[in-house]
Chains A and B, each alone.
Chain A
Amino acid sequence: MSSTAIERKDQKNAALVEMCSVRLGQTLFGVPISHILEIVGSARPQPVPLAPVYVGGLVHYRGDVLTTVSLRQLLGMAPKDGPQDILVLESKGGCFGLLVDSVGEVLTVSSADHEPNPSILDERRRALFAGAYKLKDRLLVMLDPERLDPMRLSEARAA
């Protein structure tokens, strides 16, 4: 009965969003696939000395040199050894890469299941996350590419 209720709600005012799921540590994150240009598997970014900590390094991507943002570093987790997957994301400021442990399947979620960031999250995470989707068995934390843009991150740090 509850499922029919949700469906009805969907039809009324909820849109379906396709999210690419991303695993990092114990948490499942989602990035709207409309913002993803490409997924590059097992890359080894070239570190950039003196760069802000959240910069995961540089990768060669289609003739350009792409700056990557390390999600682990952003969340204050220890960096991972070995290759990582990269989501190439598009934001207003241009393209950048997001370094994650591994990329999972694409999930279709309904905006009806979306809830804003809970207040108990720390400030840093609240600034990065764009709420969460309630899946059947777990939560999918939504990442907003705009908020992860390295340019914006550096402004946030400076402020």
Chain B
Amino acid sequence: MDELTREFLIESQEGLDRMERCLTELEERPQDAGLLGDIFRSVHTIKGTTGFLGFKRLEKLAHAGENLLGLLRDGKLTADGPMITGLLQLMDGLRSILKIIESEGTEGEGEDAALIARLEDMQIPTITYAAKTPRAKAAHAPPAHAGAAPPENSATTALTEIRPQTSLEHQLEPPAESTADKPRRAAPAAIASLEPETDPAKPRPQANSAAESSLRVDVTLLNRMMNLVGELVLTRNQVLQATANDPNLTLLSRRLDMVTADLRESVMKARMQPVSNIFSKMPRIVRDLSQSLGRRVRLQVEGQETELDKSLLEAIKDPLTHAVRNSLDHGIELPEVRQAAGKDPEGTLRLRAAQEGSHVLIEVSDDGKGVDVDKVRQKAIERGVIAQERAAHLAERELLQLVFLPGFSTAAAVTNVSGRGVGMDVVRTNVEKIGGKVEIDSRAGKGTTLRMRIPLTLAIIPALIVRSVGQSFALPQGALSELVHVPPSQAASAIEWIEDAPLYRLRGKLLPLVFLDRLLMPHSDRKNFAERDNFIAVLEADGRQFGLVVDGLADPEEIVVKPLSAVLKDIGLYSGATVLGNAELALILDPAAIAMKAGVNMHGEEAATNAEAALHATQATKNIEYLLVEVADRQAAVPLGDVLRIEQLPASRIEYIGYRPVLNFEGQLLPIEDSGGVLAAAQGNSQAQVIVVVCREGNRHVGIAVSHVLDVAAGGDLFEAGTTQRTSGVTLLKSRVTGVVDLGAVAALPALESGAPEWDRESESVA
């Protein structure tokens, strides 16, 4: 394909993109002359160039469209719904021919006669507008009107198609339009006939000035530049290390440092594109879908100017389209249903993009019927995605995230019932592939919000460098939720086993572990994990949580991702490689792939849940989790369900009403229980920090001053010797009898009651 054709294809695509945007806007403002002019120009440019390049089929179609658009632009026709549908079809027709040209170099053999005929039909105003058929009118038309006829036709000539005459025009035109068009119509005939040539030329000066300040650059060239910049960064790091002790070079190397950083930023910026590039495709999808589904939908778009790396933009196009479809299909109800529910019959679909630190947040929200959480729960249990006991414990938000699980999308029956979830796993897979995260938020009857967090760029990602089998590996920070250090002294007891499966109790829940060294070197001698430091990186991928055990941690680094050859990608554990600051190469681990390889799947999770349940069953029938705190050298427990938050604050913030300590907490007065004397001890010391556990008690909140927060543990019930009567106020925590804080006993404000409740009852009598 020659340069000219390629240029033509790019320009035409851009023109059609513009046309698409304008068309959807036109539906709201059918009289907007500017929009019509824009659309006309797009098609006209295609027609003009195509004739020059000899693409006859394209020219014919574009020509038919141009004639119709000419009439629209001159206000002889009104852009109503069917008209816009026709124009969208014209656009699709042009697109498909362009696509064929792009792939084959020729226009292909397709036949557009039907579409052309439809476009021509539309040029005839419907009978309601004109008393007589335009064809008949034309015959009667006085020659004097020829000059006032739409100029396009005089240029395209020789066509037999008939235009409504000026005598009709005033009848057809909306009054607002006619004034805008007056000057043009007043132009002398000679000029008018030239207009099709000059008219499209009008925007050219603008286009030229834009062309002067911008340049089309091949993406591969940008990629190459990105690579080279990465290389430069690396070289810089080494130069900085080497010149650290030479004062003469320090200044120079610092300059190098700055220039490199600037350069990196500039190249990255060159790859950025506004999200409007993909948002602009949505109005069309919304329009088509809402028509075919019988919905009435208003689309709101926010933050179009937010920029994102080009490759990422491409990657989120599909998930975004999917989400929009979902919202229309399953979210927003039919107008009647909405009306019956007391909502605006027109639903709202909101697309929002915003930058948040090093991420871009993209939200798709609707005000539809939302997701029925109970049905999700029910289906999840039915399909064996989660165990029943577990489902009962999951919070609503956690349950909602289940729609992203693969099991949820495959069966149509599930989709119909749950109301959502068509290929939601595909959405998540696509978003996670580019290091993003996706979550869903929904309120029954109110609507659903799908949130995607996308990193700004793919090329450079934050990663934690870990060590295993004597090598460094990079672990993307996106998947990492926390780190746990298990020193050798505790390794044997902290890591528990069910047969061959290592597990760790993370805040009372069993976390499946994967030893990275065993995974990577399955046949090597197993070094005893109990003799060394173990670090557990708690990872989340594909909705599974697991701990990756590594030998050591190094600093987090911003790494430049380099692709791996296909052979190494096939191993399935590595998503790329990178060069570290010390010039060492490191493979980038793929958390999802590791989970899969190690067999940490939903099945495993269920097994773990069952095992957990079994474990608990042997202890007691009903277990409550407690926050274990220390107050004045004694341990006490607070039911975890009642804990809202834990605040560390300067002791000076505690105020007193009489002798009762209170805290002005977010504008509300919080009574504080201080039977352990923690506050009293801190009083007077301006530097002292105190810890306040904020709890819920009935309808009020109370604070409890503690010395330390120790742990979270499941408590066991205690039975008084010789009876089956459960003791109250005490529980068995970590094999120790521990008093439970009686929140109800914390005196209410402002009625001051004497006698601090004795909540810390450490009972020795039971043992």
Contact = CB atoms under 8 A, between A and B. Distances in A.
Interface string B534-577: 00000000000000000000000000001111111011011011
B738 to A, nearest CB: 46
B228 interface: yes
A50 B567 contact: no
A60 B566 contact: no
A137 interface: no
A150 B240 CA distance: 36
A46 interface: yes
B571 A51 contact: yes
Size range of the chain A interface in the assembly:
20 to 34
A63 B264 CA distance: 14
Contacts of B568: 48, 51, 55, 58, 67
B646 interface: no
A63 B227 contact: yes
A31 interface: no
A52 B579 contact: no
Contacts of B231: 62-63
B191 interface: no
B562 A64 contact: yes
Contacts of B230: 63
Interface stretch (B283-291, B581-589, B709-717): B581-589
Given A64-B227, A65-B564, A48 B571 contact: yes
Nearest to A94: B565
B100 interface: no
Contact of A46 (B471, B521, B565, B576): B471
B562 A65 contact: yes
Contacts of A66: 565
Contacts of B578: 65
A63 B234 CA distance: 9
Interface string B429-464: 000000000000000000000000000000000000
A10 B101 CA distance: 49
23 contacts: A46-B471, A46-B584, A47-B471, A48-B571, A49-B520, A51-B567, A52-B567, A55-B568, A63-B227, A63-B231, A64-B563, A65-B562, A65-B563, A65-B577, A65-B578, A65-B579, A65-B585, A66-B565, A67-B567, A96-B565, A150-B565, A153-B567, A154-B570
A59 interface: yes
Contacts of A51: 567-568, 571
Given A48-B574, A65-B579, 14 more contacts: A46-B471, A48-B568, A48-B571, A48-B587, A49-B521, A58-B587, A65-B563, A65-B577, A65-B578, A67-B564, A94-B565, A96-B565, A154-B567, A154-B570
A151 interface: yes
A93 interface: yes
B469 interface: yes
A150 B520 contact: no
Interface of A: 46-52, 55, 58-60, 62-67, 93-94, 96, 150-151, 153-154
Contacts of A151: 565-567
A60 B565 contact: no
A65 B583 CA distance: 12
B514 to A, nearest CB: 14
Instruction: Tell me what chain A mostly uses at the interface: helix, strand, loop, or mixed.
Output: mixed
Contacts of B471: 46-47, 49
Nearest to A58: B585
Contacts of B587: 46, 48, 58
B577 A58 contact: yes
B567 A55 contact: yes
Contacts of B566: 93, 150-151, 154
Find the residue from B520, B566, B585 having the highest chain A CB count within 10 A. B585
B527 to A, nearest CB: 15
A59 B567 contact: no
A7 B585 CA distance: 50
A148 B566 CA distance: 14
A94 B567 CA distance: 12
A99 to B, nearest CB: 14
Interface in B179-226: none
A59 B227 CA distance: 15
A93 B584 CA distance: 26
Nearest to A57: B585
Find the residue from A50, A59, A96, A153 having the highest chain B CB count within 10 A. A50
A50 B228 contact: no
Instruction: List 10 tightest A-B contacts by C-beta distance, closest first.
Output: A49-B520, A63-B231, A67-B565, A46-B585, A65-B577, A65-B562, A150-B567, A63-B227, A154-B567, A50-B571
Contacts of B521: 49
A129 B391 CA distance: 61
A62 B583 CA distance: 13
Nearest to B521: A49
Contact of A59 (B228, B469, B520, B585): B585
A67 B564 CA distance: 8
A51 B566 CA distance: 11
Contacts of A96: 565
Contacts of A93: 566
B525 to A, nearest CB: 15
Interface in B467-511: 469, 471
A66 to B, nearest CB: 8
Nearest to A47: B471
Contacts of A46: 471, 584-587
B224 to A, nearest CB: 9
Nearest to B227: A63
A55 B566 CA distance: 12
A95 to B, nearest CB: 9
A103 B586 CA distance: 27
Nearest to B235: A63
A96 B228 CA distance: 19
A46 B578 CA distance: 11
Contacts of B570: 154
Interface in B565-614: 565-568, 570-571, 573-574, 576-579, 583-587
A64 B577 CA distance: 9
A50 B227 CA distance: 27
B420 to A, nearest CB: 39
B567 A60 contact: no
Nearest to B473: A49
Given A55-B568, A58-B577, A151-B567, A49 B562 contact: no
A67 to B, nearest CB: 4
Contacts of A52: 567
Nearest to B224: A63
Contacts of B585: 46, 58-60, 65
Contacts of A47: 471
A135 B562 CA distance: 42
Interface string B652-664: 0000000000000
A149 to B, nearest CB: 9
Nearest to A96: B565
A94 B586 CA distance: 21
Contacts of B577: 58, 65
A74 to B, nearest CB: 13
A96 B227 CA distance: 17
A43 to B, nearest CB: 11
A20 to B, nearest CB: 22
